[in-house]
Amino acid sequence: MKDSFGRNIDYLRISVTDRCNLRCVYCMPEEGVEPISHCDILSYEEIMRLVGIFASLGIKNIRLTGGEPLVRKGIENLIADIKKTPGIETVSITTNGTLIPEKFEALKNTGLDAVNISLDTINPERFKEITRREGFEKVIEAIKLCEGSGIKTKINCVAMKGVNDDELASIAGLAQDLNIAVRFIEYMPVGKNDFEKCVPKEDILKLIANVYGPLYKLDAKFGNGPAEYYKPEGFVGVVGMISAMTCSFCESCNRVRLTAEGFLKLCLQYDKGVSLRNIIRAGATDEEIAKAIEKAVAEKPKQHIFNDYFGAEDIEESPMSRIGG
Ligand code: SAM
Ligand code: SF4
């Protein structure tokens, strides 16, 4: 499926829930967000119907996210069913990792290809401050379990000034002995005006090079996303940078997003899109749904503009937990 700028859209991120068992300071307020009622969230049957239609339009790779995808009951069955859909090549999840240890066997049997685990600190006390919850040991266990089982494992760390910028090199060090990718995400002011929190990619690279020596940029891609990868000398794994704030990778954007409420979102930063849930529930045929998807994708914005955020139109104001990251 091509958009109007000729970009090939083959990657769909599906948020399966807006609920979460953590309360990360940059993502959710302490008291949580007003939960979307169950009947407004896409059922697994509706998700599977849409996955079939998206696959027929050329979507090959699917990532499940949230909220926290592993808090939704029966998620293992959904992963296994998506994995069996003709045309779908990879299924992955983005998770905070806390529930992986208890669900590990079931997850392994789904055929899951890859797991991104979010971890912003390796200091247990700081973990509690950032996530406002317990669970640090479970996340570390999750990383080791996934890595040891051959599931492609990445860590997502949001780099934030005054929060964790003093330990970014130590976090990168997790890839020294483990075959994982530790990726640093520039903090994005989604729905907020706190740009100053962002640690630019170049600063993160310097902090890591100061401890581990020169970093070699790799040409290889390790997934469907816009991350750039580097290998410090002697590392088993790699270090990645996702720099939505200081670099534009929009010209090669290959993705669209489906929110838990079934809204097809065309760009992380904009609220433009179409409610596929309303179309399905109005009794549309598969052909009509496919047409609605193609029409929306044709309107995918050219690029995001986080650095010129205020004053721009149609800006997304929902918290990241609603959008799925
Ligand atoms: N609960 C899962 C998790 O934490 O991985 C999936 C949902 S979470 C919204 C997806 C990703 O978005 C996480 O890696 C999280 O760190 C990232 N994220 C959330 N808010 C962000 C922000 N303001 N800037 C950059 N990344 C953010
Ligand atoms: Fe939950 Fe993920 Fe948001 Fe943290 S980043 S509050 S784990 S949805």
Model pLDDT for residues 193-230, shown as the tens digit of each residue: 678 899 999 999 999 999 999 998 998 777 777 899 99
Separation of CA 23 and ligand 2 centre (Å): 6
Angle at 103 (CA atoms; ends 143, 119), nearest 5 degrees: 30
How close is the Cα of 26 to the center of ligand 1, in Å? 8
User: pTM for the full model?
Assistant: 0.94
Cβ–Cβ under 8 Å, residues 229 and 222: yes
Cα separation, 242 vs 254, in Å, equals 15
Q: Is the shortest distance between the CB of 321 and ligand 1 below 6 Å?
A: yes
Task: Retrieve residue 18's tokens.
Answer: 């807006």
Closest ligand 2 atom to Cα of 27: 3
Q: 249 C-alpha vs ligand 1 centroid, how far in Å?
A: 18
Q: Residue 306: its pLDDT value, please?
A: 57
- Which ligand has the minimum distance to the alpha carbon of residue 187? 1
Spell out, as residue ranges, where the chain has pLDDT lower than 50: 309-313
- Closest atom of ligand 1 to 20 CA is 1
Ligand 1 neighbourhood includes 118 CB (under 6 angstroms): yes
- Dig out the tokens for 307 from the structure: 């650095």
What ligand 2 atom has the least distance to the C-alpha of 67?
8
Q: What is the pLDDT of residue 189?
A: 79
Using the structure block, give the residue that is written with the tokens 């809204």: 263
Helix/strand/coil (H, E, C) string of the chain? Answer: CECCCCCECCEEEEECCCCCCCCCCCCCCCCCCCCCCHHHCCCHHHHHHHHHHHHHCCCCEEEEECCCHHHCCCHHHHHHHHHCCCCCCEEEEEECCCCHHHHHHHHHCCCCCEEEEECCCCCHHHHHHHHCCCCHHHHHHHHHHHHHHCCEEEEEEEEECCCCCCCHHHHHHHHCCCCCEEEEEECCCCCCCCHHHECCHHHHHHHHHHHHCCEEEECCCCCCCCCEEEEECCCCCEEEEECCCCCCCHHHCCEEEECCCCEEECCCCECCEEEHHHHHHCCCCHHHHHHHHHHHHHCCCCCCCHHHCCCCCCECCCCHHHHCC
Ligand 2 contact, 156 CB (< 6 A): no
**pLDDT value at residue 146:** 97
190 close to ligand 1 (CB < 6 Angstrom)? yes
Closest to 259 in 3D by CA, of 5, 69, 89: 69
How many angstroms is it from 128 CA to the middle of ligand 1? Answer: 16
The pLDDT of residue 319: 62
pLDDT at position 309, please?
45
Residue located nearest, by CA, to atom 5 of ligand 1: 95
Bridge partners of 152? 114
**Cβ of 71 below 6 Å from ligand 2:** no
Q: Which atom of ligand 1 is nearest to the CA of 188?
A: 24
Q: Is the CB of 65 under 6 A from ligand 1?
A: yes
Q: What is the pLDDT of residue 269?
A: 79
CA distances to 215, 275, 293 from 206, in Å: 9, 43, 42
CA of 21 to the centre of ligand 1 (A): 13
**Ligand with the closest atom to the CA of 67:** 2
Nearest CA to ligand 2 atom 4: 24
| pLDDT at position 310 | 42
Ligand 2: centre distance to CA 133 (Å): 11
